[in-house]
A and B are shown apart, each in its own frame.
Chain A
Amino acid sequence: MHIPENYLSPSTCGVFGVAMVAVWTHAVRRVRETVPAEKMPLLGIAAAFSFLAMMFNIPLPGGTTGHAVCGTLVAILFGPWSAVLSVSIALAIQAVFFGDGGVLALGANCFNMAFVLPLVGFGVYRFIRGRVAGERGELLGAAIGSYVGINCAALVAAIEFGIQPLLFTDAAGNALFCPYPLWVSIPAMMVGHLTIWGMAEVAFTVGILAFVRKAAPTFCLERQDDGPEGAAALRPVFVLVGALVVASPLGLLAVGDAWGEWGVEDVSALVGYTPAGMGEAWEWQALLPDYSLGALPDWIGYVLSAVIGVALLVIIFRLLAGLSRKAIDFG
C-alpha cells in the first residue's frame, strides 16, 4: 500500500503532509502523557513488528502483491497515538533507507497507514471489547478491528490515487501523475485488501497478539504486579522479532509489484504513455533501494534490510526514551 514517489501531485503530498504535522503534534503530546519513559523502547519493538510485517509480500492471483501493516496491533498493545508515531517512524525508515514508498509521499502514506489504519482499527476493537468479555473479546476485536482498519486505509489510498487523473491532467488530457481514475483504483486496491491481504493483516495481528499476551504478559503500557519483570520477561518477544527477521526472505517469494507500487517503466508499459509528472521528476536515492544489495543475492539483501530496519527502530525509540525526563521519585 506504499505510494511511491511522483504518483501524487506535490499539492496532494503537501495537503497530507500538513495534515500529518497536526496529527503528529497531537500524538507526541499524548504519548508523552501516557507512555512512561521506560516503556518507550517497547514502542520500538512494536514499530519493528510493523516494519517486518510490511516486508512480507503476499501475492494475489493476477500478479500484484500486498502486505499486512499491523498498525492495529500496535494500537492495541500501546494505544492508538503510540501506534501513529511508531508506524510513522517505520514508514519513514522504509522511505528514506529502502526507497519503499516515496519520500514526498510520506505524508500521504502516514495518513493512510499510520493514522487511518490504527485509529479506525482501535476504535472498532474498543467497540467490540466493550460488548464481548474476556480474551475472546480481545481477539475478536483485534481481528475485526484490524480487518476494518486495513481496508479503510486501502480505500483512502485508492481515493488518493484515483483523484489524480481527475484533478491533474495536461493539455492533451493525459494524467500528470497516477493515471488510473477512481473507478479503476478503488476496485483494484480493495479486491486484494478485502480478501487476501485483509486476512493476512488479521492473521498477523491476532497471531502476534495472542502470542504476546500469553508469553510476555508484561509487554504493555501498564505496570504489571504479577509476572516476571525486565528483559527476561520480554525474551519471547525478542525471539519472535528475530524469527521474523530471519524469515523475511519469504517476502521475496511473491514475485510482482503491489498495485500502485510500479516503477516508471512499468507504468508506461501499462498505460501506453509516461505521465509527465513521473518521467523527469526528482527521485530520492535510498541506501538499499527495494531492500536489495545489488551484487549479493536478494535474500541476503532482504535479511540485511530487516536487521538494519529493526535495529534502527529499536535505537530510535531507546533514544526517544532517554529524551523524555524520567520522573525522579522523591518519596
Chain B
Amino acid sequence: MRESLPSWLASSEGYRPGSDRDGFLTRSLLSMTGLLSRLRLDAGRPTRLSPSAPLKLVMGLVCILLTSLSTNFSFVLVMLAIVLVRACLLPSESLRRVASIPAGAAALTFVLMLPATLLGQSHSAALMGTKVLVSASLAMTVAVTTPAGELTGSLRAFRVPSMIVLTFDLAMRAIYDLGRVAVEMLLALRLRSVGRNDDKAGSLGGVGGMLLLRANDSAQTTFDAMRCRGFDGEYAMPPGRTWRAVNVAWLVALTLLVALFVYLQGLM
C-alpha cells in the first residue's frame, strides 16, 4: 500500500485555467435545491385562538369555494379584506411567502386577462385577478400557519386511510432530507469544477442518480427502523384532542360568511 509520492504530486501544479463560462451550471441548481431544503416542516404553531387543523382545512376549502363561485364583487372584496388583515398579523417570514406567491399568481392572471381589459371588460379582469389573489392567499395562509404534521393528521379526521397519510408524511420528510443531500452533492461538484467539463450532462446525471440511490437507501432504512419499533401496517394516530373550544366561534364566523355569500348572490 505504501509508495513514495510520485513526482507530479510532490511538486506544485501551477494551474492556470481558461476563462470560459461554466459556473452557471451548479449555481442555479444550487439555488433550486436550496429551495427544497428550505421547505419548512415546522411552520406555524397554533395559538390560543387558532381553530383545530381539520376545521382550518374545512374553512379554507369553503372560503376558496365561495370566493370562486361568487359573482358579486362585494363578496370577493370582503374576503380580500379578511385575507389582508390575517396577513398583517403573520410573522415576517410567513408573510413573505404568503405575499409573494399569490401576488405572482394574481399578476399572471391580470396579464392573461389583458385582452379583456383592452376590449372594455376590465371588470372581469379585476374580478378574476382579485379572486385568484384571495384564493391563493387563503391556501398559503392555511399552509403557513399549520405544522405539516397537523395538516396531514387532519386528513385522518376525514376518514382518509392511514396509508395515505403515512405516505404524505414520509414524502415530506424525504423531500426535506434529499434537498439537503442534493445541496451537498452539488457543492462537491462545484468544488471539483476546476476546468472545462465536456460531459456536464453526465455529471448532473451522476448527482441525480446518486440522489435516487440514496433515496432508495433511506426508504429502506426507515422501513427497517419502523419494523424494529413494531410497525405492522397500521399508522396509528395519537388520540389527541382535535376539538378546541374556540372552534365554536370559528364555526359561527364561517356560517355568517356563508350567509353573507348567499345574501350577496341573491342581490345579483
Asked if chains A and B are in direct contact (CB within 8 A), the reply is yes
Residue ranges of A at the interface with B (Cβ–Cβ < 8 Å) = 285, 287-288, 293-296, 304, 307-308, 311-312, 314-315, 318-319, 321-322
Does B7 touch A at the CB level, under 8 Å?
no
4 closest A-B pairs by beta carbon, nearest first, are: A311-B84, A285-B122, A293-B74, A307-B81
Hey, what's the 0/1 contact readout for B93-114 against A, CB within 8 Å counting as 1? 0011001000000000000000
Report the Cα distance A285→B117, complex, angstroms: 10
Other A-B contacts than A307-B85, A315-B99, A322-B92, 8 sampled, CB-CB below 8 A, are A295-B74, A304-B81, A308-B77, A308-B80, A308-B84, A311-B84, A318-B92, A321-B92
Report the Cα distance A295→B70, complex, angstroms: 14
- What residues of chain A lie closer than 8 Å to B95, measured between beta carbons? 315, 318-319, 322
Q: In whole Å, how far is A230's beta carbon from the nearest beta carbon of chain B?
A: 13
Report the Cα distance A314→B95, complex, angstroms: 11
- What residues of chain A lie closer than 8 Å to B267, measured between beta carbons? 295
Asked if A319 contacts B126 (CB within 8 A), the reply is: no
Residue from B77, B85, B96, B122 within 8 A of A288 (CB atoms): B77
Q: In whole Å, how far is B95's beta carbon from the nearest beta carbon of chain A?
A: 6
Residue ranges of B at the interface with A (Cβ–Cβ < 8 Å) = 72-74, 77-78, 80-81, 84-85, 87-88, 92, 95-96, 99, 122-123, 126, 130, 264, 267
Asked if B84 contacts A307 (CB within 8 A), the reply is: yes
Report the Cα distance A141→B267, complex, angstroms: 52
Report the Cα distance A322→B85, complex, angstroms: 18
Report the Cα distance A308→B77, complex, angstroms: 9
- What residues of chain A lie closer than 8 Å to B77, measured between beta carbons? 287-288, 293, 304, 308
Report the Cα distance A287→B134, complex, angstroms: 14
- What residues of chain B lie closer than 8 Å to A315, measured between beta carbons? 84, 87-88, 95, 99
Report the Cα distance A94→B78, complex, angstroms: 18
Report the Cα distance A287→B78, complex, angstroms: 12
Asked if B72 contacts A295 (CB within 8 A), the reply is: yes
Question: Which residue on A lies nearest to B91, using beta carbons?
Answer: A318
Asked if A311 contacts B85 (CB within 8 A), the reply is: yes
Report the Cα distance A293→B84, complex, angstroms: 17
Report the Cα distance A120→B51, complex, angstroms: 50
Report the Cα distance A135→B78, complex, angstroms: 42
Report the Cα distance A318→B126, complex, angstroms: 25
Report the Cα distance A92→B84, complex, angstroms: 17
Q: In whole Å, how far is B175's beta carbon from the nearest beta carbon of chain A?
A: 25
Asked if B81 contacts A311 (CB within 8 A), the reply is: yes
Question: Which residue on B lies nearest to A312, using beta carbons?
Answer: B84
Question: Which residue on A lies nearest to B78, using beta carbons?
Answer: A304
- What residues of chain A lie closer than 8 Å to B122, measured between beta carbons? 285
Report the Cα distance A291→B80, complex, angstroms: 15
- What residues of chain B lie closer than 8 Å to A318, measured between beta carbons? 88, 92, 95
Interface centre among A287, A321, A322 (most CB of B within 10 A): A287
Taking A311-B88, A322-B92 as contacts, is the C-beta distance between A294 and B74 under 8 angstroms?
yes
Asked if A285 contacts B96 (CB within 8 A), the reply is: no
Can you list 12 pairs linking A and B with CB atoms under 8 Å apart?
A: A287-B126, A288-B77, A293-B73, A296-B264, A304-B77, A308-B84, A311-B81, A311-B85, A315-B87, A315-B95, A321-B92, A322-B95
- What residues of chain B lie closer than 8 Å to A314, measured between beta carbons? 88
Report the Cα distance A304→B130, complex, angstroms: 15
Report the Cα distance A304→B77, complex, angstroms: 8
